Amino acid sequence: MNNDVEKVLYTQDQVNQRLDELANTLTEKYQGEFPVLVSVMTGAMIFTSEMMKRLNFKLNVDYVDVSSYEESSESTGKVKLIQDLSHDIKDRPVLIMEDIIDTGHTLKYLVALFANRGEKSIEICSLLDKPDRREVDVEADYVGFKVPNEFIVGYGLDFDGLYRNLPYVGVLKRSVYEK
Ligand code: 5GP
Ligand code: MG
């Protein structure tokens, strides 16, 4: 599995250190706010659970599942809701946890969806950001790392369902997805 990785962008230690910093910022910001943390499955699974352990305030955790990439390395711009929230978010602060913002279509869709339900506030926390690829106007409020325009795997991010369990953030070899 590791042989399919071209290079490591952020090691497990580097990610851990950055998550500590992000969690400190969020812990200050959300004290007494009682937000619903919304994990965007499946990519944000590891990021969400690693962050949750570090967040020192009362929260509920929920998740949505959306499809975008559909087993290829190119985004289609179409977002489909596969699994909705189980919490009522009316008058609640919502904090979306995402693995990576690429074109921005997924988050734009989710922000619009939640805004219809009377949430108190909405913020986005993304492990990774690929700003060069943005097609719609959406930015994260908190970002772990900016990454170059390459295909990223590991720490929850997959190619064709694989590599999510790599404990670091890396770039997949072209030869793997251009096969
Ligand atoms: P967007 O809607 O912003 O274009 O894409 C968001 C989703 O596309 C992310 O949640 C992620 O699942 C997927 N994605 C975008 N870029 C990458 C990437 O470099 N690697 C992987 N594995 N997934 C990506
Ligand atoms: Mg995703």
Q: Dump pLDDT digits (tens) for 16-33.
A: 999 999 999 999 999 999
CA distance 89 to 75: 29
Which of 41, 102, 125 should be mutated for ligand 1, with most atoms under 8 A from CB? Answer: 102
Q: What local confidence, expressed as pLDDT, does residue 67 receive?
A: 87
* Cα 153 to averaged position of ligand 1 atoms, centre (Å): 10
Q: What local confidence, expressed as pLDDT, does residue 45 receive?
A: 97
Average pLDDT of the chain? 94
Q: What local confidence, expressed as pLDDT, does residue 129 receive?
A: 98
Question: Residue 153 carries which side chain, given as an amino acid letter?
Answer: V
Q: What local confidence, expressed as pLDDT, does residue 179 receive?
A: 76
User: Is the C-beta atom of 158 inside 6 A of ligand 1?
Assistant: yes
Residue 157: pLDDT above 90?
yes
Counting runs of H as helices and runs of E as strands, what totals does the chain give? 4, 9
Helix H segments across 30-119? Answer: 45-52, 105-115
Ligand 1: which residue has its CA nearest to atom 11? 100
Q: What is the pLDDT of residues 34-63, one digit of tens each?
A: 999 999 999 999 999 999 999 999 999 999
Q: What local confidence, expressed as pLDDT, does residue 58 receive?
A: 98
Spell out the residues 6+ positions from residue 179 whose beta carbon is closer than 8 angstroms to its own: none
**Closest ligand by atom to 103 CA:** 1
CA distance 30 to 155: 25
* Cα 69 to averaged position of ligand 1 atoms, centre (Å): 7
State phi, psi for 111 to the nearest 5 degrees.
Answer: -60, -45
CA neighbor of 103 nearest in space, from 67, 76, 143: 76
Residue 75: pLDDT above 70?
no
Reported confidence tier of residue 78, pLDDT bands at 50, 70, 90: confident
Lateral strand order in the sheet of 152-153? 5-10, 169-172, 152-153
Residues designated as active site: 102
Which of 7, 68, 74, 108 should be mutated for ligand 1, with most atoms under 8 A from CB? Answer: 68
Q: What local confidence, expressed as pLDDT, does residue 70 receive?
A: 56
**Closest ligand by atom to 172 CA:** 1
The encoded tokens of residue 34 equal: 């009682």
Enter the pTM of the model. Answer: 0.94
